[in-house]
Amino acid sequence: MSNLGRLLGYLRPYRARVALAVFLMLLVTASALPMPRITQYTLDVVLPHKSYRLLLLIFWAIIGLYAFRGVASFSLNYLLGWLGQRVVFDLRFQSYRHLNRLSLSYYDKRQTGKIMARVIDDINVIQYMITGGFVTLITDILTLVVVLPVVFHMQWRLAWIAVIVVPTYVIIYKLFLKRIRALSVELREKWDALIGALQEKIAGIAVVKAFHREEYEVERFMQTVQDNFRLGMTQAKLNRLLGLIVTII
């Protein structure tokens, strides 16, 4: 939750736009709810009674509903894109200003490539959190708040089954999250090391060529890339396995 709190802190100057984004998420979520009832009513009532005039009205209502949802989704995605880009702008400006205030000893102890990776890649991750992870979290919460009462009204037994399953999902999610988070940290560290090494090799390419070390450096670089690949695949497998288990539940 600390990372989420820091993310919300970056969004605090844009509270009005964040509130508008949440409202648009609510509209997009709510616009999907009438479709099952409309379909059920059409199959159970309209088609058996051959009420073609009502069927035409339902057709245009569906068109209007999808048009409304499309406009709301476009507005939401545009707004989230603006928020993501704006936060990235603020963070990169603050990071560069902070780097200029650090002592020379800080730069002596760190590779230039690692510093560049922090300023560029890590901030891109934050942008994804705003446009992806944050949206998913809020959308899931809104869906639960909006859909659950409707399900209780339609099929209360089925709704209770869904509620009972939630603790199982939470336990499994926490078990996977610890391992996925550890892999993410290790992957980020290796990626920073890769960028740092690449920067140094490019800066010293004249020395590499002078001693005919091209093939040796290529092999070292390939080994580092393979380590990153293996970690990335392990993380991807865990993510897909978690998704599969959640789908089954």
Q: pLDDT of 173-198, one tens digit each? A: 788 878 887 888 788 777 777 777 77
Give pLDDT, residue 4.
62
The angle subtended at Cα 232 by Cα 230 and Cα 233, nearest 5°, is 65
User: In the predicted model, is pLDDT for residue 133 greater than 70?
Assistant: no
Q: Which residue ranges make up each domain of the chain?
A: 1-154, 156-249
Rounded distance, CA 188 to CA 210, Å? 32
**What's the rounded Cα separation, in Å, for the pair 68 and 71?**
5
Who has greater pLDDT, 155 or 77?
A: 77
Per-residue pLDDT tens for 223-243? 878 888 888 888 888 888 877
Q: What architecture does CATH give domain 1-154?
A: Up-down Bundle (1.20)
Q: Give the chain's mean pLDDT.
A: 80
Report pLDDT for 44: 85
What number is the average pLDDT over the span 142-165? Answer: 75
Average pLDDT value for residue range 79-96: 86
